A = this chain, B = another copy of it.
Amino acid sequence: MWKPERNSKKALYEQIADHLEQRISYGEFPPGSLLPSERKLAEQFEVNRSTVISAFAELRSLGIIESRTGSGTRVSTSKWGATPKHTPNWSRFAEGGNFLPNLPFLRRIREALGQDPSLIDFASGELSGDLAPTDEIAALMSRNAYTSYLGYDNPQGFTPLREALVQYLSNYRRIQATESSILITSGSQQSLFLITQCLLSPGDAVAIEDPSYCYSLPMFQSAGLRLFRLPVDNHGIQPEDIRVLYKKHRIKMVFLNPNYQNPTGTVLSVERRKRLLDIICELGLPVVEDDPYSLTSYEGVPPLPLKSMDTTGSILYIGSFSKIAASGLRIGWMVAPRSIVERLTDARQQMDFGLSIIPQQIAAQFLQSSYFGPHLESLRIQLQFKRDLLIESLEKELSGLIEYAAPEGGLHFWCKLIPDIPDAKLLEESIKQGIIFVPGSVYGSDSGYVRFTFARSKPEDIELGIAKFAKAIRRLME
């Protein structure tokens, strides 16, 4: 992102005025559109707010922008001379459309991370660079550079990857599948998007866990779905709650993340799994099982998916490389009945024409390489190490002020704060202190919960981050 040149002979405010004039003339800020606030631009350009105020004054004197008290600074519409020229009302278009924007907390988190790369990141739900198999992937790439035809791929996904996944699913997840029942997606996110857009209709009722990652996704609301909650305790959801929701609201589908649930880290108990399968089978109710975390089991004994026990074909199974290899590959998969695979393949074709073959080829090679097993082994050890470091830091800094159950797998740590601090205040103060996390209410919980992703930070930053977080809490408790 552009920043003014501190060593230039040209004053900072002049550089900023020139830069903004250029972006305005290119159409990035069309006539009539709102410019970012002085505060926001000052943050972006890393200058004092007074410098941005001077730049704005300069542009105002040239007739390029106009400020009105209370309604911000806009690009002039009169600048174009005598003939009135009209620019589309872009901001109205930006506010239009069926599709809802992300939750305000999530947009705030992205904005903060974009503006300050030095923030200690307990928010992004992904692995740190050293946990991802970057060297292994680089080695595979340089050894097997892509040489075959780079055209539109099989719309269901690169066939060798689907074949490799048949082996993977059988060996690691005890799921029997054929390549024709697998759809490759751009991660679990796209699997969920396809299901909510194409298999359900506006007004349909669905059940999700409470708290739940699904709750953080406006895609459910965008599709017009009515969400009902299944409370999660230390052993997951209560299967009987599904029957209650079915009778009361005719729920059409259940979304579950039974292993190291996001955000709570809980594992659905074996006994509840059996009852769950009996109930959904009795009701003829489909379950979407999201299973991104199982192989991170710190003890090395990954819990099996529900799908491995599914004898009636009631479960749509979703998997991904994002949490066990690299989110930047953007590779996920779905195992589903043929009719569903065909429908979703057809729809995805219209949305993005499928995924690039290159990451799919790399993923297939990685799965079949001798790197895969040892990578998982070392990932588990390092995740456990980071979890322990997080707990140690929390106990040191916030003993008595928090409650939690330590997860046995996954990337996240769910934690209740005993002091009564509103989510928004805690998030802003933490950003000020230099750390960022996801407030629990994003996942539908009450205020006062926090999700820390410990996988994303370097070990040395975990202790530091929690110290900063504790400082934010102490400030707000004063």
Contacts and interface: CB of A to CB of B under 8 A. Distances in A.
Interface of A: 1-2, 22-23, 25-31, 33-34, 80, 85-91, 93-99, 101-102, 107, 110, 114, 124, 126-127, 129, 132, 134-135, 137-139, 141-142, 145-155, 159, 176-181, 185-187, 189-190, 193, 197-202, 217-219, 222-224, 281-286, 310-315, 322, 326-331, 335, 337-340, 342-343, 346-347, 349-359, 362
Contacts of A137: 146, 150
Given A151-B132, A281-B86, A98 B223 contact: yes
Given A27-B310, A91-B339, A359-B359, A350 B219 contact: yes
Given A30-B313, A339-B90, A150 B327 contact: yes
Contact of A30 (B34, B337, B359): B337
A352 B187 contact: yes
B101 A129 contact: no
A185 B331 CA distance: 16
Given A197-B97, A217-B350, A338-B28, A138 B147 contact: yes
B187 A86 contact: no
B352 A190 contact: yes
A328 B189 contact: no
A224 to B, nearest CB: 8
3 closest A-B pairs by beta carbon, nearest first, are: A30-B313, A86-B284, A27-B313
A26 B181 contact: yes
Given A88-B285, A312-B85, A339-B33, A180 B352 contact: no
A319 to B, nearest CB: 15
A372 to B, nearest CB: 15
Contact of A129 (B86, B150, B357): B150
B93 A286 contact: yes
Contact of A28 (B99, B178, B222): B178
B339 A353 contact: no
Copies in the complex: 2
Contacts of A114: 154
A252 to B, nearest CB: 8
A350 B193 contact: yes
Given A98-B224, A218-B350, A330-B355, 11 more contacts: A31-B313, A94-B340, A97-B199, A97-B200, A97-B201, A98-B201, A98-B202, A107-B346, A186-B352, A322-B353, A358-B358
Nearest to A152: B327
A26 B177 contact: yes
Nearest to A177: B26
Contact of A26 (B135, B159, B178): B178
Given A80-B312, A141-B146, A326-B151, A351 B94 contact: no
A349 to B, nearest CB: 7
A190 to B, nearest CB: 4
| Most chain B beta carbons < 10 A, residue from A86, A124, A326, A351 | A351
B351 A351 contact: yes
Given A28-B180, A33-B337, A284-B88, A329 B353 contact: no
A101 B190 contact: no
A286 B154 CA distance: 35
Contacts of A185: 352
| Most chain B beta carbons < 10 A, residue from A88, A178, A283, A285 | A88
A474 to B, nearest CB: 31
A238 to B, nearest CB: 21
A314 B33 CA distance: 12
A204 to B, nearest CB: 8
Nearest to A1: B180
Contacts of A281: 85-86
B27 A98 contact: no
B328 A152 contact: yes
Contact of A351 (B189, B201, B314, B346): B189
A326 B356 CA distance: 10
| Most chain B beta carbons < 10 A, residue from A34, A99, A354 | A99
| Most chain B beta carbons < 10 A, residue from A146, A193, A357 | A146
A88 B138 CA distance: 43
